[in-house]
A and B are shown apart, each in its own frame.
Chain A
Amino acid sequence: MEEEFTRGEGRPRLLDLVPNGRDWGSYAAAEEKKLELRLGLPGGEDWPAGQEKREHPVESVLSLGHISKVPKSTNVNASSGTKRGFLGQVEPKTEGILIDYMTFQQQQLQQPQLGFLQLQAKGKESLQKTSGSAEQQSLEGKGCGPHAAHASSTKNAAVAHTTSQSRRAAATPVVGWPPVRSFRMNLAGTAAKASAESQNGSSEGAKKLENDRKSLFVKINVDGIPIGRKVDLKAYDSYDKLSLAVDELFRGLMAAQVDPLAPSTRKNSEEKDVLVGLLDGSGEYTLVYEDDEGDRMLVGDVPWDSSSQKGGNQIIVWNILILLLPLITCSMFVSMAKRLRVLKSSELSASSVSSFFV
């Protein structure tokens, strides 16, 4: 599952650089290049299954300029200001910290190459901070000694190092990172839109908050398989992609199932793609979703995306009950489906699928 996340090649190189004077200046430059080095992106088991390119700029994993990367300049000022404030508060009572700073400085001096680059990187970082250069100077003065910052000179070294960084951390989101439970992952991302709620009523606001989530994990169960999976609806933009993903999710589990039914179905289960034809009713299984009124509906009737007219798509007959909480205006289907289920097509008539009888 995590084989995509390559550690092999780049990692020894990175670690070798630690004692030899790592080029820290690269990271600030790297973020300018917006390379996808970030690893702290949404985890969740469906991440490798087809997450599209992320919308927001991705920061370098080892970004020094984390503060400066924040889009709003006010925050940058605030954080740099507060940073200075921290040092200011700390100084009077804890000489130990300064002593420790000095220790760090000495360590760096022992590795002059590293120190030089680190100072340069520090300068680079300060250059990137938007304003308040006087603050920056004092920050530099207190913390790290004189700097002779020339951003351009670090850039070349930065580029070379960045590529090795990127090889290691190449745009692969990490499963299970950050170590936060799924329900918190779904909660997260709504905080940024909290201001919306104060304008609308609270319940609408909550819905709006959910609208801006970047991932929406919903449960999907297949008939006959006791264990379900979760799928991120926001990762897809069409029924086809969703159906492919569901097929992949359950292929292994289906193959492992002993099929007690008639030989005709057993033949199907031996095939690699057991879950084809989910969308058009031709396969052994059908996709169904359950909406927020609790009714089971055939998947495919509503366009996936309300903004673009995709009515021409084949009717996707997936019995998927998506366990979705709020409405998401950007996708009509995603907003309506609460839960996904994959039912056997032969059982469709027995189950209460609303649109089936229309």
Chain B
Amino acid sequence: MTYFPEEVVEHIFDFLGSHRDRNAVSTVCKAWYHVERFSRRNVFVGNCYAIRPERVMARFPGMKSLSVKGKPHFADYNLVPYDWGGFALPWINAAVRRCPGLEDLRLKRMVVTDDDLDLLARSFPNFRSLVLVSCEGFSTDGLAAIATYCRGLRELDLQENEVEDHGRQWLSCFHESCTSLVSLNFACLKGEVNAGVLERLVARCPNLRSLKLNRAVSVESLNEIVARAPYLVDLGTGSFAVDHHTDAYQRLMNSFSKCKSLSSLSGFWEASPHCLDAVYPVCINLTVLNMSYAPAIQADDLIKLISLCFKLQKLWVLDCIGDKGLAVVASTCKELQELRVFPSDIYGAGATSVTEEGLVAISSGCPKLNSLLYFCYQMTNAALITVAKNCPHFTRFRLCILDPWKPDPVTNQPLDEGFGAIVRSCKNLRRLSLSGLLTDQVFLYIGLYAKCLEMLSIAFAGDSDKGMVYILKGCKNLRKLEIRDCPFGDFALLNDVAKYETMRSLWMSSCDVTLGGCKALAAKMPRLNVEIINESEGSDKLEENISDLHKAEKMYVYRTVAGPRNDAPDFVWTL
């Protein structure tokens, strides 16, 4: 292989899509390392603090597409303070200096300011695609800058970000000559956009295939848009509040019937009953349906809609669909691969919600199911065992029983056996989230059987340090471990410190690890950053006074070649 000219090797490497494969070939020999690094176009950085941006740009000078992740996953649930870190600016700055040919940028859980977006917009003439997922710190002013200066922009995808609305008509900033948009998603924005501007933008972008509107877009506007863009593949409706007796509704139904390519629907922020009928013409082709933002839709309307969606592969719903609705899904959607059932009434035992029955029905009706996120109030071991038997192809299995420590209501046993069956049966399981009453036994099973597991989320589970030790010893491919409110302490933490260098990160909050234990870990492993988040008052002054026996309320450990970070706020101590 080393006798091949570099161009040939490079051409062979072009067939390697995944980052892991490219990382692997680059370690074979120096020659391959050099070929690979000059030919890599897509760079993925799973933890923005694991490496300095300059080093990344220096290694991959041909980088065209960059994807960076910032905060730990539990930041989604308000466990990480706002100003913890994850700033986009160092990455954008480094790219400005070293990779001005940057075309795509994707950021997840990072802090992005309007100035950052402005800099981004002005610095990369070939910029095509900006995807921001769960980010914050910017406003519509930043979006205006992107719209103004990114002339060839093809994709602007804002997913579940916190965006301040400064009222600026950012959408108007798209130049009249901008006709290149392929994908536009501003569903997370709260403010209004000018309907006329939006409609004209849609009309002049013939390649537009994915459009996700926000709640403020009216049905009339939606009608205009759908009428002008019949080639849409992916649509997020705006509010969808329409009285089905009106002409507007009829027009809407007509428009939808012309959308032959539409295969993905979401939105329905304020949908009234019967208005879903307008969407029936497209159901037959739908592969993706997201009704999880529509608490107003009754189960019956939902069921009527879904019973037409034979080709559905991905379904996100609220639990008001009920077990009955899930049975309909099971009998209709034989191609279903991903199901997410979100809670619709968190504050009390829902009058309608889903139970283990619904899950069992889905598992027996949808054999291709491989990804699940399921919120419910109860689950039984028997049901989980059945599910495991019916669906051995799970790659992602996330079950959240809303009451912590809740046992199997039928047998009053912990759910160890149920989850044990899941990991035993699903050999390709990569991601698992546990809930309910669980003892150390479940961790024994996971360590024993879940050999492909990469990400594990644990809450309110386990009896002793043994649980965590089983996990760390058994799961060879573990990359991310996040634990909250479990009785795991220093013994488990320090049992195998070298393991953490094989993982991306470890999060432990409200467990039994002490400051002393964390310090010991930091001392033994210089290539880990051991960060303690201490949110009590005057925390920056008291570090010397807190004894090592004090419990570390929140600890985040990650491997890094960049050393301790220099942008940590006062309440974050890097040991």
Contact = CB atoms under 8 A, between A and B. Distances in A.
Contacts, number: 241
Contacts of B342: 180, 184, 188
A189 interface: yes
Given A70-B351, A188-B343, A202-B270, A182 B298 contact: no
Interface stretch (A3-11, A153-161, A238-246, A281-289): A3-11
* Interface bin, chain B: 35 or more
B148 to A, nearest CB: 23
A206 B382 contact: no
A22 B414 CA distance: 11
A109 interface: no
A107 B347 contact: no
A188 B346 contact: yes
A256 B485 contact: no
Contacts of B571: 252
A79 to B, nearest CB: 7
Contacts of B460: 39
B410 interface: yes
Nearest to A229: B82
B404 A61 contact: yes
A221 to B, nearest CB: 9
B241 A206 contact: yes
B570 A256 contact: yes
A40 B346 CA distance: 7
B459 A197 contact: no
A177 B76 contact: no
A1 B400 contact: no
A38 B405 CA distance: 10
B31 interface: no
B296 A206 contact: yes
B74 A40 contact: no
B553 A62 contact: no
A2 interface: yes
B346 A79 contact: no
Nearest to B404: A39
Interface stretch (A95-103, A260-268, A304-312, A342-350): A95-103
A181 B270 contact: no
Contacts of B297: 194
A63 B403 contact: yes
Interface in B226-255: 239, 241-243
A176 B79 contact: yes
B22 interface: no
B548 interface: no
Contacts of A104: 381, 411, 413, 417
A94 interface: yes
A44 interface: yes
Contacts of B540: 256
Nearest to A86: B357
A21 B22 CA distance: 54
Contacts of B355: 79, 82-83
A283 B518 CA distance: 42
Given A201-B243, A251-B537, A118 B411 contact: yes
B385 A7 contact: no
A94 B380 CA distance: 15
B343 A206 contact: no
Given A64-B409, A187-B293, A203-B241, A97 B404 contact: no
Interface in A253-277: 253, 255-256
A81 B213 CA distance: 42
B94 interface: no
A59 B15 CA distance: 56
A173 to B, nearest CB: 10
A83 B537 CA distance: 50
Contacts of A7: 485, 487, 510
B375 interface: yes
A107 B413 contact: yes
Nearest to B385: A100
Interface in B469-526: 484-485, 487, 509-510
B272 A198 contact: yes
A188 to B, nearest CB: 4
Contact of B272 (A69, A188, A197): A197
Contact of A18 (B356, B377, B411, B463): B463
16 contacts: A18-B463, A43-B77, A62-B406, A67-B378, A90-B386, A107-B413, A143-B410, A179-B400, A179-B459, A181-B134, A187-B344, A189-B347, A191-B344, A198-B298, A206-B241, A209-B296
Given A40-B402, A61-B405, A205-B296, 9 more contacts: A5-B510, A70-B349, A94-B386, A143-B410, A177-B404, A181-B77, A188-B342, A191-B295, A201-B243
Interface of A: 1-3, 5, 7, 11, 15, 18, 22, 24, 38-45, 54, 56, 59, 61-64, 66-67, 69-72, 75, 79, 82-83, 85-86, 90, 94, 96-97, 100-101, 103-104, 107-108, 118, 121-122, 125, 143-144, 174-185, 187-192, 194-195, 197-198, 201-203, 205-206, 209, 214, 219, 227-229, 251-253, 255-256, 294, 323, 325
